[in-house]
Structure 1
Amino acid sequence: MKYRVAAVQYHLEDISSFEQFASQVTHYVRNASEYGVQFVLFPEFLTTQLLSIGDEAGKPLPIDQLPVFTEAYLALFRQLASEYNMHIVGGTHVVDVGGGKRQNTAHLFHPDGRVDTQAKIHLTPTEVEEWDMAPGDGLAVFETPYGTIAMLTCYDIEFPEIVRMARAKGADVIFCPSCTDDRHGFYRVRYCCHARTVENQVYIVTTGTVGSLRRVDFMRANYGQAAVITPNDIPFPPAGIMSEGDVNQDMLIVADLDLSLLDDVRKAGSVTTWRDRRTDLYTDWS
């Protein structure tokens, strides 16, 4: 099976209304549709842009006000997925989960109106100490007409076990929305994406925020680049990079994924890392 994906290097800048946010998101989806894509990925924390709208006194909104926009966020992405007949990983949005807890949650919008979610499982110190987030407590994979996918957000990809679990549950493509403020964080995520594709013989589609929210704490600096990353084997590019954007530029990238190539390398590649895992020595999460 083959299908086409796009990943958005979402440019953060201060705005004054939800309509401005909706207009920017719509622009990227419309642009992706011009390339005939079936999936488009937005980055982690793109909705923090809404905090820059501010309150009646002109002060930026605190993180605990971000869930106020959940209904509008869901309506916007549902409408775009339906209108453009596209699966959209709408980055992540901070949602209330009850008991005074919030989670940083990835959303998959299907063209038929369904919405799947995956809360971020591993949280960074900033998310815990500054934004009082709660971690997700389970991993799901999601069935689509284009196969099984998983959504693992930024820091999640740095833990080999969780990606192994996603592959054991049948995922061939991992969508990894990310948000990193400097090169150190960016390369941690990027290098781990490459490692996970080698270990599990999967595709990883990743992207990050670019630009700056000058009025929002912890979002004033962003260092991002979208990429579609493959196993390092003969059917794929030698460096494992099918497509990548220009660092810190407002743009999107497009690539075609061929799932049959994953089957080929798992069965008879130069190395067969998925088949050769030693389940007699360590856990097989399948």
Structure 2
Amino acid sequence: MTEQNETLLNLRVITPDDYPELAALMDMVYPDIGGAWPKATIQALVNAFPDGQVCIEDNGKLVAAALTIKVDYNRYASKHTYKDIVSDKEIAKHNDRGDALYGLDVFVHPEYRGSRLGRRLYEARRELCRALNLKAILAGGRIPGYRDHANLSVNEYIDKVKRKELYDPILSFQLANDFDIKRLMHQYLPEDKKSKGFATLLEWDNIFYEEDTVSIHEAEKSIVRIGVVQWQMSTARSLEDLLSQAEFFIASLADYQSDFALFPEFFSAPLMGLAPEKSPVEAIKFLAEFSEDIRNRFSQLAVTYNINIIAGSLPVQEKNRLYNVSYLCHRDGSIDEQYKIHITPHEKRDWVLDGGDTIKVIETDAGKVGILICYDSEFPELGRLLAEQDVQILFVPFWVDTKNGYLRVRTCAQARAIENECYVAIAGSVGNLPRVDNVAIQYAQSAVFSPSDVYFPHDAIIAEATANAEMMIYADVDLNKLKLLNTEGSVNNLKDRRLDMYQVKTLNK
């Protein structure tokens, strides 16, 4: 191998002129199964699918290569043999209309093994699969190490390789490159004595694959802009006064092309100051009288400003019972609601609120979202139920009066982001309301959190407001990164759950 400081690697497509070097390399790597492919076969591959044939050269010397074709996924995701891929005349059966890649071969010069050249070629193949919007990469994988373990059944051998109790030069490498074993294939390549004719059908799924859409409007949105309002609690002279303040923030976030505007829990509380003589129970019922008008006005603003609005939370009276409800006003005019599930001791004691009994993921034009109102964020079961429904963004409108309370909400929100592999936005209120009992003071530092992994900020904070200052923040979140995290993250919190030991079940009515 070239000395380290003289190595100059270059990944490029294969040309017909590369055949002599390519053939010499194949003869060196595969003396036991026929050596090099005929020149006509390589020429046909280069002509039919040039982007699929790549090599790595070191200072002009060809030292590794990967050969690939396109195939019909449904045909080759089931059992087949090598002859189904390569005809008797040794011409690979490339299908230009295929919806999957098929890895014919990856081979590396013996002197370069350990330099991760094979990994580079596999990554190039994955990038090609994504770029062409294909479903998957398929491959028939030999298991040459099996010859040395004839005392084991082939299934036992594969299981031990998967558990890293045994090493197979091909299968171990493919498993390390995120391929999954789909099935065992017998007599795949009968002349392969080392594998005793067996091969594994391997698959790598393209998580970004999208079925053809009728129009661009049906394509799934990837980059989503979240706007968060850190709301100033101050004296309100009227409902219109409060709504004017809200519209200012909605308009401002819409100017920044935000997809969502998140308001805090009980942001309408200043209206209780219009009746300062009422008891706490009477005051919250008085506040509930405004909630329908606020919800309807927010819905109008969502349509007017083309932005989805999470209207914090509002007290709602239904059949002599009071609930704490968050409304999601879609920009198409529709409205969804999420009732607060867990009621704090203060809400029970002073306002006699009841909890809801349904938790749900809400489909929007900018992803699948859930709402956990303040205290609800401190119960991991709710976040996990939403994760079971593929939630991508959690919105947490909150109201707290002390930094202790704020840190509970913040810490739990960050935990929900990590354990459920989603984004979490929290919005709180600041300031004070001297004329309103039970909502007199506020503490907040609103933020948008991400999971904690290599695809995200080092501190898992995408955006953060200044503590206790009226302001708005916005943050762009990439939903595709959640897909990468789920499949290729340094940890896989959702995948690695021990469902044989525990499960979370919902009893939604």
Give the TM-score category using the shorter length: over 0.9
User: Residue 449 of structure 2 corresponds to which residue in structure 1?
Assistant: 229
Question: Structure 1 residue aligned with 2:353, among 133, 155, 158?
Answer: 133
Q: Residue 130 of structure 1 aligns to a residue in which SS?
A: helix
CA distance in 2 between partners of 1:49 and 1:165 (Å): 34
Instruction: State the one-letter code of the partner of 1:194.
Output: Q
Alignment partner, residue 283 of structure 1: 503
Q: Find the aligned partners of 1:184 and 1:216 in 2 and give their Cα distance.
A: 21
Displacement of 1:58: 9.7
Question: Does the Cα contact within 8 Å between 1:16 and 1:54 map onto a contact in 2?
Answer: no
Contact between 1:164 and 1:285, CA under 8 Å: does it hold in 2?
no
In the alignment, which of 37, 45, 48 is matched to residue 266 of structure 2? Answer: 45
Q: Percent identity?
A: 37
Counterpart in the other structure of 1:271: 491
Where 1:216 maps in the other structure, the secondary structure is: coil
Asked if 1:62 corresponds to 2:283, the answer is: yes
Residue 8 of structure 1: SS of its match in structure 2?
strand
Deviation of 1:227 (Å) = 0.5
Residue 108 in structure 1 maps to residue 331 in structure 2: no
- Asked whether the 8 Å contact 1:149–1:172 carries over to 2, the reply is yes
Q: Which amino acid aligns with 1:159?
A: F
Q: Which one-letter code corresponds to 1:120 in the other structure?
A: K
Alignment correspondent of 2:233: 12
Q: Does 1:150 align with 2:370?
A: yes
Q: What's 2:107 paired with?
A: none
With over 3 angstroms needed to count, the CA separation of the structure-2 counterparts of 1:225 and 1:6, relative to structure 1, is same
Q: 2:385 aligns with which of 165, 172, 176?
A: 165
Measured in 2, the distance between the counterparts of 1:146 and 1:37 equals 10
Question: What's the CA shift for 1:59?
Answer: 9.5
Map of 2:34 onto structure 1? none
Helix, strand or coil at the partner of 1:74: helix
What whole-Å deviation, never above 9, does each CA across 1:111-133 have from its counterpart, x for those lacking one?
Answer: 12211001100111010010000
Q: Secondary structure at the match of 2:289?
A: helix
| CA displacement, residues 40-73 of structure 1 (integer Å, 9 cap, x when unaligned) | 1000010112111227x79997111122112311
CA distance in 2 between partners of 1:206 and 1:186 (Å): 10
Distance in structure 1 (CA, Å) of the matches to 2:399 and 2:387: 23
For structure 1, which runs of at least 5 residues remain unmatched after alignment?
none
- Indicate conservation of the 8 Å contact 1:168/1:285, yes or no: no
Counterpart amino acid of residue 447 in structure 2: A
**CA apart distance, 1:243:** 0.3
Give the TM-score taking structure 1 as reference length.
0.96
Rg larger for: 2
SS, match of residue 204 in structure 1? strand
Of 238, 243, 255, which residue of structure 2 is paired with 1:34? 255
Cα distance in 1 for partners of 2:275, 2:483 equals 50
Matches within 5 A, 1:203-282: 203-282=423-502
**What is the CA deviation profile of residues 225-279 of structure 1, one whole-angstrom value per residue up to 9, with x for unaligned ones?**
1100001101101111000000010001110011100110111101111111111
Deviating beyond 6 angstroms after TM superposition, the runs of 4 or more aligned structure 1 residues are 57-61
Coordinate RMSD, CA, aligned: 1.6
Q: Deviations over 1:159-203 (max 9, x none)?
A: 111100011012111000000100000000000011111111110
1:277 & 1:58 partners in 2: Cα distance?
50
Higher relative contact order, chain-length normalized (CA < 8 Å, sep 6+): 1
Match of 1:183 in 2: 403
Query: Secondary structure of the equivalent of 1:91?
Result: coil
Give secondary structure in 2 for the equivalent of 1:282: coil
SS at match of 2:352: coil
* Secondary structure at the counterpart of residue 33 of structure 1: helix
Equivalent residues of 2:387, 2:420 under 8 A apart: yes
Q: 1:96 aligns with which of 317, 320, 325?
A: 317
Q: Distance in 1 between matches of 2:504 and 2:381?
A: 10
Distance in 1, Cα, partners of 2:332 & 2:419: 34
Structure 2 residues without counterparts, runs of 5 or longer: 1-221
- Please give the per-residue CA displacement for 1:85-143, whole angstroms capped at 9, x wherever unaligned: 11000100000121x10100011001122110011001110100100000011111100
With over 3 angstroms needed to count, the CA separation of the structure-2 counterparts of 1:203 and 1:58, relative to structure 1, is: closer
CA contact (8 A) 2:295 2:311 kept: no
Q: How much does 1:74 deviate?
A: 1.8
Q: Displacement of 1:284 after TM fit? A: 4.4
**CA–CA distance in 2 between the matches of 1:12 and 1:80?**
21
Aligned to 2:124: none
